[in-house]
Structure 1
Amino acid sequence: MAADMDIDFTRRNKKPRPLTEHEKDKLEEFVEAIHYSSRYSDEEYEYRHVQLPKQMLKQIPKEYFDGSRGTLKLLWEEEWRALGITQSLGWEHYEVHEPEPHILLFKRPINYQPPMH
């Protein structure tokens, strides 16, 4: 699924890096302050951006950051959910707004339907 969405997997961890309980505890105080944009769309995708409190970035493990860019890596769903970001299924973290590294950009196909199990 994500492969069709032009996501640069070299900017992700090779596999999701779970947070420890201690790391989750340090992030918990920021969860209420995460801001979700309204959705907007083009012909193919719907988009939204998620703004993390700037102070929260200091508590996120360094393995989630791309040292060469000074921004977060593109996070796996398991990783962004562990940070406390909550949204429905199908969203992919596809870009970081470099001038404002606390803003994460998400997209998913329009009319996304979760796979049936």
Structure 2
Amino acid sequence: MSQLQYQLMRVEEQDGVPVVSVLCTELRADTVIDRLEQELEDYLKKSGVKQLVLDMSGLHYMASNGLRVLIRLRKQLGEVDGRFKMCGVHKYVADVFRTTRLFTETFDFLPDVTAALAALKGPAPQQPEA
């Protein structure tokens, strides 16, 4: 597949897994949030990947409305039995997750790309039966 070009993210493959690095330092304005959401959706559709690492080490601030990008990413990957791990989450970004109680209940945070890749190679967590 040819290299896809994006403004707000960079995609590199490591150990056969796409690592998506967020290039913007803030997710505050709706236009930036909408653009990142669109770029992630476009990448998922064109690549067909089922798992990825989202490296957020360059993101220093995220408003609560930026959570929708991550919730949508989780939903889209879940629809294809996929999953993702986040890494490099700065304190102010993690505070948004803690405030909304999404920190440990919905998303996995790992310190760096290496740890996130290792976590993806492990077994997928079991979903509770309905």
Please report the TM-score for the alignment, with normalisation by the length of structure 2: 0.27
Question: Larger relative contact order (C-alpha < 8 A, sep ≥ 6)?
Answer: 1
